[in-house]
Structure 1
Amino acid sequence: MSYKTILSGSLYQESHSFNPIPTGRDQFQIAFGQEALDAYRGTRSVLGGVIDTAEAAGFSVIVPASFRAFPSGIVDDAVYAEFKAAMLDAARHGGFDAIVLALHGAMVTTAHDDPEGDLIRSLRDIVGPTVPITAGLDLHAHVTPYTLAACDFLTGYKTNPHADMAETGERAMRGALAMLAGRFEPVCVSVHFPMLTLGQDRTDEEPLMGLHARVRALVETSGLFDISIFNVQQFLDVAHMGQTVIAYGNGQAEPAWDAAHEIADALWAARDELVGVLPDIHTCLTRAAEPGRTRPVVIGDQGDRVAAGGPGDSTFVLNTLLADFPALRAALPIRDAASVRRCRDAEIGDMVELSIGGRYSTETPPVSAACRLLARGSNVDVVIKGPAMGGVSVATGPYAVVQLGQVRIALTELPLTYLDPRFYEALGIPVAEQQVVVARSGYHFTLNYADSGDCMTCDTVGMTAYRPAEQPFTVARPFYPVDKIAYQPVTAVRRRRLPGG
């Protein structure tokens, strides 16, 4: 029976195993049913791509739940359990032709190292072997054989910075539609090996730019449905962490086998080229101070990237500005719930004694000073300009904006990436009037600030700096480049036959 209906849902959070701040329900933006459907339709998100593609094909979409949080520490498993219950309840009710999921793929909870795999497996147990299940994931996903065994088609972003989130949702949806039409019999070949990419992993720069060009050529010439390269999140201390290449043939394993190994071998061969070198903070701030400059320098704080799971409370850039570049007009964010609460009782224009940041990011001390309160509020809903996450609405939660010297500090209770200029504009901080603007992001901000300033990712200190030998890994090792191990890829094949095939 055809229902012309798709069951979908979005679970999106990237976990950092060494961030001590747990991610609770209060950090998630949660929507159910029609609210979730309306919130993501037409957005540059994976769920938006799923919805738009399904509706364009004449299908309706059921979205029982959408749970989204910025990257942070390990997630309270009760949050995942709530999302899972909503999805499984909808699956039991039936009335749909396929399941198409929008996931991140690098979430860890207090009870699950692979909740996405657990979710897909649980859905498969309910719907049986014939209902197509597909998913679109971040290219930093931790993809396991457990996930692949229950999922018919899994596809990842092809870009970093991520400019193709919606297109990834579209591919996941197209895979399901092709299966329903009898045009796609997925044969999945995955190749996995323990290695990290460290800093030279933009897909618009070599060596990944060339690898993705090879992927596109293979898909075009070999009859393959899709190939994805998953450069795993670099701060997951979980078993079997590493690079995964997935190729999907259509009824045939050999082309997928050859392509997956060709790309995996090339990725391993480029392993040392994937360790990058970034400019230091003085280089970035000196550029911002150049005479005659008319655009701000937008600095990606590599060491405390909320976009990679950092706590967002580092004072490294703030301390450097105050000590060495006090004349620069700057805007930067710091997560500091105590300072936000302290500002609640003050009037706009008051001087407020604060001890700012440095609670979790202890590489540099808190900044203690009297700051002038410029703004405060309980929440602002920021609609991201994009292209990364364009159209998605993000709630800031309680906030305060204070002035210290020439620096405007955006204080929030929640960790926020500031990967888009609208975060600052929504809090009353004009980006164009600054000489320095700081984003808690290493890549995606470069897309969204491209027309606002000159973007530089800076080698700062903190939990998300690319120094894995200094991180307390206990489960994930050994992996390259910390451990000088040989290339021993693990290959898995998963075939889905159509009913009657």
Structure 2
Amino acid sequence: MTDKTVLVGNFAHETNTFVTSKTGRDLFKERREYFGDEIPKKLQGTNTQVGGVIDVAENNSVELIHTVAATATPSGLVEADIYEFYCEQILDGVREHAADLDGVMLCLHGAMVPEGLDDGEGPLISSVREIIGEEVPIAVTLDLHGNITDEMVSKSDVLIGFESYPHTDMADTGRTGMRELIRTIQSDIDPVSHIERPPVLAMGPKQNTREGPMADVMAKAREYEERDNIVKVSVFPGFHQADIPSMGWSIPVIADSNSDAAREVSRELAEYIWDRREDFVSDYPEPPEAVAEAKRLAADLDPDDGFVLMADVGDNPGGGGAADGTTVLREMIDQELTNAGFAIVRDPETVAQCVDAGVGERTNVNLGGKTDDFHGDPIADLNVYVKAVTDGEFRNTGPMGTGGENHLGRTVLIECGQDDGVSVIMTENRMQPLDAEIWRHVGIQPERLNVLVVKSTNHYRADYEPMCSTNIPINSIGLVAMDPRKYEFERIPRPQFPLDKMTDEMYPNW
């Protein structure tokens, strides 16, 4: 295929509606904000959706028109004017080039909630459709944690989600979306879709696609794609930190010219998830129990065993957490762990204090717990040793987001606790420490630690699990609590398991 033109827009945000602060342009600039010709220079060859789109376009002689690539670390509602600003970057490009476009590729998230709306993606897709009409196909790629609306499905021709959590397949998803868009442009397929929503909410760690029930669900999805007429089966367990009507599990299926085939597969997979609903709920240790177990295991480690890995799930900045929660770190200090690491604590005030003190100096700080009342109190009058100061700039080297830039702001490595045995990475900006390069850029080889804690839910698994001996997700407090039963929902569909008592008879019988 030659001489085809596709416009690309990338605008992504995972919105935690329980976070009271809003998301402005500064948070997008902090994470990723590129425009026009700058985009391929920054994202080509990276494990991102746009990186994958560029790969396929080059291999198929498709001209790409880049508009914007904007992503912010998950946080509160996107400010209305900022939502409009980024949407207009895409829509202005569509208007300018509408007569020349053979297709539109939108790399979005699926769980964006702007001020005044419940759905950030559906209206954007509809606006693109309004400009280009029904004949020009639209492909949309989304994060696995999208809360998928009917508008997203009906206004796009191809809608595809990540298949892995940790999201190591971002570029692969971009490639798949672009390939299916090209096939639609060439009339090789005539995509039709159907979506079902089983009333099940999965706990955060249970959404891990590498093992357990989620791995089984993904395997079933791939099996269904072997059926005649089935183009793609996407699985979205949803993002339960959003109190909106579309929150929850969704199964959109694309078929080639056969809506009955799409409906049949979507319903079968939804029923399979419903039948496995109990497998998506479990018990996980609270901070005191988890830290005590880590200390016990670390005492028996052999040099080649790998560290004990723990996840401070409740304060995961990758789900909107403040990243300054102290409950787990306080336990590590109180239980006198040594040769241990903790990432991260976002605390600009303490970062500034430590920078002023200087590398090699000691100072007393009030660490963390400054953002809100949901993540624990500050650790008061903590004596720390300032080990290193960096500019917080590094690129991911692990399997998720490989090659992507990180901008932590000023970053300080401190040592504290028993014999200065706990090393803590403090930052000015929030970021999920999913890539182990965050340790190396402050001078620590993570493999040499006995215990390592990261504020993450599942993404950390991709880079850290190959180095660890044991992995312990912690049921810690915070606005990204792993258990949906800890939230007070007012607007989601009910009943939902496990929020409500449900029987087999309560699920739709087709």
**Structure 1 residue 473 corresponds to structure 2 residue 476:** no
Equivalent position SS for 1:183 = coil
- Alignment correspondent of 1:137: 142
Equivalent position SS for 1:257 = helix
**Structure 1 residue 229 corresponds to structure 2 residue 235:** yes
Q: State the Cα deviation string for residues 181-239 of structure 1 (Å, max 9, x = none).
A: 11110110111244311132222223222222222122113231001111101211001
Q: Note the C-alpha offset of 1:361.
A: 5.5
Match of 1:444 among 442, 447, 459: 459
Match of 2:300 among 281, 290, 309: 290
Equivalent position SS for 2:215 = helix
**Structure 1 residue 460 corresponds to structure 2 residue 472:** no
Q: Which is further off, 222-231 or 204-213?
A: 204-213
**Counterparts of 2:501 and 2:340, CA distance in 1:** 45
Q: Decide whether the 8 Å contact of 1:3 with 1:96 is kept in 2.
A: no
**Structure 1 residue 252 corresponds to structure 2 residue 264:** no
Q: Decide whether the 8 Å contact of 1:332 with 1:407 is kept in 2.
A: no
Amino acid at match of 1:372: Y
Amino acid at match of 2:103: A
**Structure 1 residue 365 corresponds to structure 2 residue 377:** yes
Amino acid at match of 1:318: L
- Alignment correspondent of 1:262: 268
Q: Which is further off, 166-175 or 328-337?
A: 328-337
**Structure 1 residue 399 corresponds to structure 2 residue 411:** yes
Q: State the Cα deviation string for residues 383-405 of structure 1 (Å, max 9, x = none).
A: 11121111211211222222212
Equivalent position SS for 2:279 = coil
Q: Note the C-alpha offset of 1:302.
A: 1.5
**Counterparts of 1:432 and 1:291, CA distance in 2:** 12
**Counterparts of 2:293 and 2:94, CA distance in 1:** 54
The 1:329–1:84 alpha-carbon spacing in structure 2 relative to 1, beyond 3 Å, is: same
Amino acid at match of 1:423: I
- Alignment correspondent of 2:387: 374
**Structure 1 residue 484 corresponds to structure 2 residue 501:** yes
- Alignment correspondent of 2:342: 331
- Alignment correspondent of 2:89: 86
Q: Which is further off, 53-62 or 460-469?
A: 460-469
Match of 2:219 among 213, 233, 251: 213
**Counterparts of 1:282 and 1:81, CA distance in 2:** 49
Unaligned runs of 5+ in 2: none
- Alignment correspondent of 1:124: 129
Q: Decide whether the 8 Å contact of 1:191 with 1:490 is kept in 2.
A: no
The 1:147–1:490 alpha-carbon spacing in structure 2 relative to 1, beyond 3 Å, is: farther
Amino acid at match of 1:371: V
- Alignment correspondent of 2:14: 14
Match of 2:118 among 95, 113, 125: 113
Q: Decide whether the 8 Å contact of 1:11 with 1:68 is kept in 2.
A: yes
**Counterparts of 1:477 and 1:261, CA distance in 2:** 18
Q: Which is further off, 265-274 or 433-442?
A: 433-442
Amino acid at match of 1:430: Q
Aligned residue pairs, count: 490
Match of 1:180 among 182, 185, 205: 185
TM-score (norm 2): 0.91
**Counterparts of 2:297 and 2:82, CA distance in 1:** 44
Q: Percent identity?
A: 29
**Structure 1 residue 351 corresponds to structure 2 residue 362:** yes
**Counterparts of 2:363 and 2:318, CA distance in 1:** 30
Match of 1:166 among 168, 171, 195: 171
Amino acid at match of 2:340: R
CA RMSD of aligned residues (A): 2.1
TM-score (norm 1): 0.92
- Alignment correspondent of 1:301: 312
**Counterparts of 1:8 and 1:91, CA distance in 2:** 9
Q: Note the C-alpha offset of 1:317.
A: 1.7
Q: State the Cα deviation string for residues 134-169 of structure 1 (Å, max 9, x = none).
A: 111111101000111211110011122222211111
Equivalent position SS for 1:272 = helix
Structure number having the greater helix percentage: 2
**Counterparts of 1:291 and 1:245, CA distance in 2:** 43
Amino acid at match of 1:398: R
Q: Decide whether the 8 Å contact of 2:2 with 2:60 is kept in 1.
A: no
Match of 1:422 among 424, 437, 461: 437
- Alignment correspondent of 1:432: 447
